[in-house]
Amino acid sequence: MSAEQNQQEQDTNQSDKQAAQSGRRKRNVIIFCIVLAVVALGALLYWLHARQFEETDDAQIDANLSPIGTRVDGTILKVYVDNNQVVHVGDPLVDLDPSDNKVRLDQAQAQLGQAQSGLLEERPSVPITEVQNSTNILSAHAEVESARAAVAAAERGRDQAEAQVQQQEAANARAQSDVERYRLLVVKQEISKSDFDQYDSAAKQQAAGLQAAKAALLASEQMVDGRKAQLDEAQGRLVQCEKNAGPQLLIRQASVEQEQASLDSAQAQLEQAQLNLGYTKIVAPVAGVVMKRSAQIGTRVSPGQQLLTISQTNDLWVTANFKETQLLHMKFGQSVTIHVDALDRKFTGSVETIGGATGSMASVLPPENATGNYVKVVQRIPVRIKLDPNQEALDQLRPGMSVESTVHVR
């Protein structure tokens, strides 16, 4: 083979290699474009699908935890439950020693009886006081009228005495004049001495009668003054009776009201004692599972002391802390898918409420952005999710379980 043939063969091989390489590059470009298109399509489909949901793993099962304490002091006699025990409404939990509260109940009953007796004793005093006041006022009116009549009689007696004095003065003046005239006649011996003595005696009698009439007039005037004083006294008693009638009745009514208040207070104390005696038997106010039991037989407890906690597992919900940027399209009633890590299964629910503030605002030390130390951090807002009822395995859920929540926002 000549050198030219070798050269031609080499050129042919080189051309074949270049053609093969060019073909492979084309295939690779085509494959890359196909893969890129598939990835872009997948990303688009994923984006179209993902924009319909908002999800977070910052979520947990929540429930009401009811702390059960004692409302009275006492010593624990019996404990009926233990941790993790299921209880229903009305189930007995703890019994306290009722002895002290029974004594207080007896004391309250005795005080109530005493208050009832006091009210029964005081209540008739009001009508009695009304009758007494009416009687006193009528008696005072009668005394005033009697005193007025006595004054009128005394004034009539005084007028009669004045008339008698006037008559005696006239008679005495005539008798004294006669004596003087007969005295001259005796001197002239025109009348006898015995006749003059008779006239003189008659004149002295008239003078004595005048003095007696004046004395009677003075006595009548004093009688009038005395009767007027009695009238003033009777009128004063009447005014006093009329003024005192109202206050005396008010005092009696106030006494009755005070006894009634004492009775009401005793009744309230009795009811409180009855309640306290009932509080010595502590029963479950809600259904759920017992936890944090600290009650022990023989322990002395005081009012308000917590004995145990009941987790209300029959009323569960999910608290999901979504970022604030995830809440744009989130609304009440949107369906939610909840994956529970502990059970490795999914549950359904719906958005019930959206929190009124971010979690940072509800923390013990909320941020103070006004101080100038502001750093923008995406905040989270709690969203309450209601679990759909009648789902299988709902009774296996417990508060605090971690879950992943996915809300269907579109």
Question: pLDDT of 208-238, one tens digit each?
Answer: 777 877 787 788 878 888 888 888 888 888 8
Region 83-93: mean pLDDT is 94
Identify how many contiguous H helices and E strands the chain contains and give both numbers: 4, 12
Give 241-267 pLDDT, tens digit per residue: 888 878 887 888 888 888 889 999 999
Instruction: Find the helix packing angle between 193-278 and 125-187, rounded to 10°.
Output: 170
| Residue position matching structure tokens 């605002």 | 361
pLDDT at 357 over 50: yes
**Rounded distance between C-alpha atoms, residue 202 and residue 390, angstroms:** 140
Burial class (CB in 10 A: 0-12, 13-18, 19+), 83: exposed
Element (H, E) at 216: helix 193-278
Region 116-137: mean pLDDT is 84
Per the model's pLDDT, the better-predicted residue between 26 and 10 turns out to be: 26
Cβ contacts of 358-367, under 8 Å, gap ≥ 24: 358/324, 359/321
- Evaluate whether 347 touches 340 at the Cβ level (below 8 Å): yes
- Evaluate whether 317 touches 384 at the Cβ level (below 8 Å): yes
Contacts for 372 with CB less than 8 Å, ≥ 6 apart? none
**Rounded distance between C-alpha atoms, residue 349 and residue 340, angstroms:** 13
- E strands, 2-136, are 53-69, 74-79, 86-87, 92-96
Taking the whole predicted model, whether its pTM rises above 0.75 is answered as: no
pLDDT band at 1 (very low <50, low <70, confident <90, very high): very low
**Rounded distance between C-alpha atoms, residue 177 and residue 172, angstroms:** 8
Q: What is the CATH number of domain 118-275?
A: 1.10.287
CB atoms within 10 A of CB 284: 20
pLDDT band at 143 (very low <50, low <70, confident <90, very high): confident
> How many CA atoms, within 13 angstroms, populate the side-chain half-sphere of residue 27?
6
Q: What is residue 196's predicted lDDT score, i.e. its pLDDT?
A: 62
pLDDT band at 193 (very low <50, low <70, confident <90, very high): low
Give 316-329 pLDDT, tens digit per residue: 999 999 999 888 88
Listed by start position, the domains of the chain span 118-275
pLDDT at 121 over 90: no
pLDDT at 382 over 80: yes
Strand order across the 281-283 sheet:
281-283, 92-96, 74-79, 300-301
Q: Decide: helix, strand or coil at residue 150.
A: helix
Per the model's pLDDT, the better-predicted residue between 14 and 347 turns out to be: 347
**Rounded distance between C-alpha atoms, residue 88 and residue 310, angstroms:** 10
> Which of 58-62, 68-72, 84-88, 187-191 has the least mean pLDDT?
187-191
Q: What is residue 151's predicted lDDT score, i.e. its pLDDT?
A: 82
User: Strand 300-301 to strand 281-283: parallel, antiparallel, or no bridges (unpaired)?
Assistant: unpaired
Q: Decide: helix, strand or coil at residue 382.
A: strand
